[in-house]
Structure 1
Amino acid sequence: MADLTQELWANKLKNDDNSVLLDVRTEEEFGEGNIPNALNINIFKGQAFVYELEELDKSKNYYVYCRSGGRSGQACEIMNDMGFENAYNLMGGFSEWTGDKQF
């Protein structure tokens, strides 16, 4: 897992042809605004969260975010434990995101 600054995270994502954008907030939070093209898997679903992660391609690079960076950091750790090699946590989360947003 790597904790990346907003700028570094955005630059890596923009230049990565093997990327998946993952929002681990609740469905309600996701509906209030998100980064375009993000996949939403709620970390608070517990074991169901793990089951949904198991369906993902481990060869992809995952750019993970939540509201402030805490839950996404936990998600990255879980993903690393499951064999995902590249999970990047957005420090500061969506609340500090200055890039494109959709509502």
Structure 2
Amino acid sequence: MFGRKPSSNSATDLDPNSAFEMILKNKQNPEFILLDVRTLGEYNQSHIEDSIQIDYQSRDFEKKVQELDKSKTYLVYCRSGMRSGASVDIMSKLGFKNLYNMAGGIMGWENCGLSVE
């Protein structure tokens, strides 16, 4: 699944293990952002280390995303992959170029035995 473009062509889908590898490779890279698009409540229950949170379901999601640096690389995740897929579609339309969607979301991440905070 690594490197597969979804039908919308707005982002590359990564399975959780490929996403983990990408996160490790970019641990010290300020141009790489791990974006959690779940609600604050979901984020506070558990999240991937060093991720930032912007709620896809909030009214001002698009406004908050527009404030992000479009030149950076974003790996986006949610609970199962649905909200992150919709988020990268929006981000692509706003001019973001380097987008990755973690297919399966944090549920897939945890099912692979990967750690959360």
TM-score bracket, normalised by the shorter chain, equals over 0.9
1:9 Cα deviation (Å)? 1.6
- Deviation digits for residues 6-28 of structure 1 (CA, Å, limit 9, x no counterpart): 12122122213221010000011
Point out the more displaced range, 9-18 or 72-81: 9-18
Select the structure with the greater relative contact order (CA < 8 A; seq sep ≥ 6): 1
- Deviation digits for residues 21-47 of structure 1 (CA, Å, limit 9, x no counterpart): 10000011001100011110000013x
Equivalent residue number for residue 45 of structure 1: 58
Between Structure 1 and Structure 2, how many residues are aligned?
101
- Matched to 1:28, the amino acid is G
Structure 2's unaligned 5+ residue stretches are 1-10
Equivalent residue number for residue 44 of structure 2: 31
Equivalent residue number for residue 10 of structure 1: 20
Structure 1's unaligned 5+ residue stretches are none
Q: What percent of counterpart residues are identical?
A: 38
- Matched to 2:102, the amino acid is L
1:63 aligns to what SS in structure 2?
Answer: strand
Q: CA RMSD in A?
A: 1.0
User: Rg: which structure is higher?
Assistant: 2
Equivalent residue number for residue 59 of structure 1: 71
